[in-house]
Amino acid sequence: MPKRAFYMLTNALVIGLAAMGFVEVGCAHSARYPLRLYDLEERQLLEKATTVIVGRTTEAQWEPARQPISWNRQPGISTARLVKVRLSVEQVIRGTANDSQLMAYYWAPEVFTNGSSLHLPIRGERAVHYFVTEQGVLRYVTDLVRSTTPVFTGAHSQPPKAIGASVEAKIAAILLTPGEGMNVGEFTTNLSTAAADALQFVGFIGTLPLLEAFGKSSVWDVKWAACVQLYRSGFMGHDGCIDKLAPEASEHGRETELRTLQAQRANADSRFRHAFLADPIRTAKDYALLPGNAGIADFLRVISQHPDKELAVRAQKELESCCRGGPA
């Protein structure tokens, strides 16, 4: 056999054996860490999780194991790779964590053209993490997509005061209570995300006092961002802080934003008043964020505190007749 042909054959055999070894390793990891493919919102992640912690990612190690992916919910992803995440535990919300550090695994998207809510490891990120225990190791509730709720309020050496004793209330308080080392710019930029997550957990009544508490902040940008969020998130009748902060808006470079908000509010308030008085329950259903009657009752409770007395009385009347079993 010519020398060149011999070397080509030898190289082919080596590559083939290496590939077989890689496939065996990949299959072994796939068996130990079977894919968990769910497309879930925050409340659903919490429902499935047996361990929930607040922690900061200190290390994210991409393991050699990878596997092809075919998932109709995320058709742009073609390959996933196993990731081992090390977390510094700050709070345990559900379950147990015996050490200040823990490790968890998930399959991260490695080769993809597009995707939504993808879970890509970010060192230093602080978040609420949702886990299950599978074959003796912690796994994120779902692979590929996010199994975390980002926290932009900094660290909390003590659990912040929650509106209620539920796990949902504890998470909402973490998302919307200033902690140690909070980056104001990052927080205000991401406040809409944090508010939306809190609303999923505790609805309007649970989120309202948390956002209103920012009105006492010594940082004007925080007060303004929280006030604007009360309007953007649909807290009808609870966004009067925009008018109170109006005199200061100009000196903080917010005059154009203020004028836009005031015009939008005037139109939105008029339309809402007409719609709510015509059909309170249908309107409440349209705004509801908690599931079922709990969501209707939650929104009606917010409107029962509306400064417009006619709206408030009508909301209270509907609440008493339709949804007394809603959240307290």
| Structural domains present in the chain | 36-150 (2.40.50.120), 158-328 (no CATH)
Q: Can you tell me whether residue 205 is helix, strand or coil?
A: helix
- pLDDT tens-digit profile of 171-230? 999 999 999 999 999 999 999 999 999 999 999 999 999 999 998 999 999 999 999 999
- Across 93-123, b (16+ Cβ under 10 Å) vs e yields beeebeeeebebbbbbbbebeebeeebeeee
In the chain, the percentage of residues whose pLDDT exceeds 70 is 89
Asked whether the beta carbons of 34 and 50 are under 8 A apart, the reply is: no
In the chain, the percentage of residues whose pLDDT exceeds 90 is 82
More confident residue, 27 or 47: 47
More confident residue, 2 or 224: 224
Beta bridge partner(s), residue 80: 67, 109
Residue 18's pLDDT is: 42
Residue 1's pLDDT is: 52
Of 12-16, 237-241, 297-301, the one with minimum mean pLDDT is 12-16
- How far apart are the C-alpha atoms of 129 and 109, rounded to whole Å? 18
Check pLDDT > 50 for residue 6.
Answer: no
Q: Give, as one character, the DSSP assignment of residue 162.
A: P
CA dihedral 259, 262, 264, 266 (to 10 degrees): -140
Check pLDDT > 50 for residue 7.
Answer: no
Which band of pLDDT confidence, cut at 50, 70 and 90, is reported for residue 9? very low
Residue 19's pLDDT is: 45
Q: What is the mean pLDDT of residues 296-315?
A: 97
Asked whether the beta carbons of 132 and 104 are under 8 A apart, the reply is: no
Residue 22's pLDDT is: 47
Contacting residues for 226 by C-beta, under 8 A, at least 6 apart:
191, 211, 212, 214, 215, 217
Distances (CA, A) of 239 to 193, 224, 274, 283, 306: 18, 11, 18, 19, 10
**How big is the chain by its Cα radius of gyration, in Å?**
25
Check pLDDT > 90 for residue 170.
Answer: yes
